[in-house]
């Protein structure tokens, strides 16, 4: 069991800097998810921690121990890769036992750990009369192979588990199930997990904290709820949440003692209780952000919100059963609303939309940083 620290870690490949001064403190037993688009440096960050890549500058600590120059096998971590890389000629049992055999772990101990992990992962289930330990990888489904790869990490009983996009090869339904079982596994093992994915839904559902990365730079590191409620910049605001936050190029102006966000074809008045931090930006270009779930059919808007009513054109409607996605247009602006399924909004017609300004976001147009 251990904490993990990236202390000003820089990684270059030749002249190309892939990780820029990464600082992360992962607490003991935490489930930290590192999320960002493909190519932003997530795998490199994990591989540096595992010791599979040498870092260019900075330090990496596991617990209090500086492991920067320690060999991978002595770092007390286990990694589950996207490609499970099981040995095709070995049984499930032998695949899971292999690493322990190399370490000369006593046979009885290997047997205990493999069987315990196999039961934990449902590879052996006496009640259901399931026992996959004798099978070869090619006799397994994708989901079962994925569990063997996780089992191979569990038997090592490491201080830290690393996962690099372990669900990407599974179909959508299995991904959802496996997501839940990895969360349960974390509960059960009470060990530090560091999990890399490009999928913000995986990040939101599993993480105790999320580090959002772009171009080798950590953009924000916080709890899922804080990232959603208080994104620090336009990138995080647009990355977390689905469908993504709507953004409007706008100008913040003072009119009749109030602040108004002028978005071209429409304008909204900033609620008084939100105006404080925005005042200094009056007269400047900003980006106005509002999430699809903060747009409502006015008939079904939650009571008591500060709302702005906007006339929109409805380009497309998508009925999801529990809600309707409205693809809306005002002037040059296209945006999405997630509204009550009882809405009467229809394709090709106009619809009045209530924007919940209690949850509005404003960003500086130049720096793209949240104005607070």
Does 40 contact ligand ADP by CB under 6 A? yes
Residue 41 or residue 137: which is nearer to ligand ADP going by CB? 41
Q: What are the residues facing 196 on neighbouring strands?
A: 34, 164
3 state SS of 24? strand
277 binds, among ligand ADP, Mg ion, none (CB under 5 to 8 A by kind): none
- Residue 216 beta carbon to Mg ion: minimum distance, rounded to whole angstroms: 13
Residue number, 81 or 98, with CB nearest to ligand ADP: 81
SS3 307: strand
Tell me the two tokens of residue 167: 């669900």
**Contact between 43 and Mg ion per CB under 5 A:** yes
Question: Quick one: which of 287, 291, 289 has its CA closest to 252?
Answer: 287
Q: Residue 344 interacts with ligand ADP (CB under 6 A)?
A: no
| Alpha-carbon span 248 to 263, nearest angstrom | 6
Burial (0-12, 13-18, 19+ Cβ within 10 Å), 306? middle
Please give the Cα distance from 106 to 84 (Å, whole number): 25
1-40 mask for Mg ion (x: CB under 5 A)? ----------------------------------------
Return the residue matching tokens 């899971």. Answer: 96
Give the Cα separation of 78 and 150 in Å (integer): 9
Instruction: Verify binding: residue 42, ligand ADP, rule CB under 6 A.
Output: yes
Asked whether 221 and 212 are in contact (CB, 8 A), the reply is: yes
Taking the C-alpha atoms of residue 118 and residue 121, their distance in angstroms, rounded to an integer, is 5
- C-alpha angle with apex 195: 194 to 198, nearest 5 degrees? 145
CB of 18 to ligand ADP, least distance (A): 4
Contact between 13 and ligand ADP per CB under 6 A: yes
40 makes contact, choosing from ligand ADP, Mg ion, none, with CB < 5 to 8 Å by partner type, with ligand ADP
Q: Centre a 10 Å sphere on the Cβ of residue 70 and count the other Cβ atoms it contains.
A: 14
The residue count of the chain comes to 372
Q: According to the binding rule CB under 6 A, does residue 38 interact with ligand ADP?
A: yes
CB of 36 to ligand ADP, least distance (A): 6
Contact pick of 39, 298, 302, 331 for ligand ADP (by CB under 6 A): 39
Does 210 contact ligand ADP by CB under 6 A?
no
Binders of ligand ADP among residues 44 to 83 (CB under 6 A) are: 44
Q: Which is nearer to ligand ADP, 32 or 259 (CB)?
A: 32
Residue 41 within binding range of ligand ADP, rule CB under 6 A: yes
Partner in contact with 264, chosen from Mg ion, ligand ADP, none, beta carbon below 5 to 8 Å by kind: none
Show contacts with ligand ADP in window 17-36 (CB under 6 A): 18, 36
Distance CA 91, CA 97 (A): 10
Positions touching Mg ion (CB under 5 A) are 43
Positions touching ligand ADP (CB under 6 A) are 13, 18, 36, 38-44
């Amino acid at each position: 069991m251990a904490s993990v620290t990236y202390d000003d870690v820089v990684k270059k490949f030749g002249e190309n800097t892939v990780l820029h001064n990464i600082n992360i403190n992962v607490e003991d037993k935490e489930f930290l998810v590192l999320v960002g688009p493909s190519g932003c440096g997530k795998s490199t960050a994990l591989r540096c921690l595992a010791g599979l890549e040498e870092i260019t500058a900075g330090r990496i600590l596991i617990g209090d121990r500086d492991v920067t120059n320690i060999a991978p096998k002595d770092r007390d971590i286990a990694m589950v890769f996207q490609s499970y890389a099981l040995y095709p000629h070995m049984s499930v049992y032998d695949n899971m036992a292999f690493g322990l055999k190399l370490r000369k772990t006593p046979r009885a101990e290997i047997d205990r750990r493999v069987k315990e992990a196999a039961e934990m992962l449902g590879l052996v289930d006496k009640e259901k009369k399931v026992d996959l330990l004798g099978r070869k990888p090619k006799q397994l489904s994708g989901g079962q192979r994925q569990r063997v790869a996780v089992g191979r990490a569990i038997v090592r009983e490491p201080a830290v588990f690393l996962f690099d996009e372990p669900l990407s090869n599974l179909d959508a339904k299995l991904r959802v199930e496996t997501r839940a079982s990895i969360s349960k596994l974390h509960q059960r093992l009470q060990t530090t997990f560091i999990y890399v994915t490009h999928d913000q839904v995986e990040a939101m559902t599993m993480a105790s904290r999320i580090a959002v990365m772009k171009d080798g730079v950590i953009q924000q590191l916080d709890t899922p709820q804080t990232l959603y409620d208080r994104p620090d910049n336009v990138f995080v605001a647009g990355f977390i949440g689905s469908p993504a936050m709507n953004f409007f190029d706008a100008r913040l102006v003072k009119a009749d003692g109030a602040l108004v966000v002028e978005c071209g074809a429409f304008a909204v008045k900033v609620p008084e209780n939100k105006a404080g931090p925005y005042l200094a930006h009056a007269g400047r270009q900003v980006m106005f952000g509002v999430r699809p779930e903060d747009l409502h059919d006015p008939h079904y808007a939650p009571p008591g919100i500060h709302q702005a009513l906007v006339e929109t054109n409805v380009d497309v409607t998508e009925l999801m059963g529990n809600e309707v996605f409205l693809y809306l247009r005002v002037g040059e602006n296209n945006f999405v609303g997630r509204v009550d399924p009882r809405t009467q909004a229809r394709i090709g017609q106009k619809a009045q939309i209530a924007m919940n300004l209690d949850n509005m976001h404003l960003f500086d147009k130049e720096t793209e940083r949240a104005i607070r």
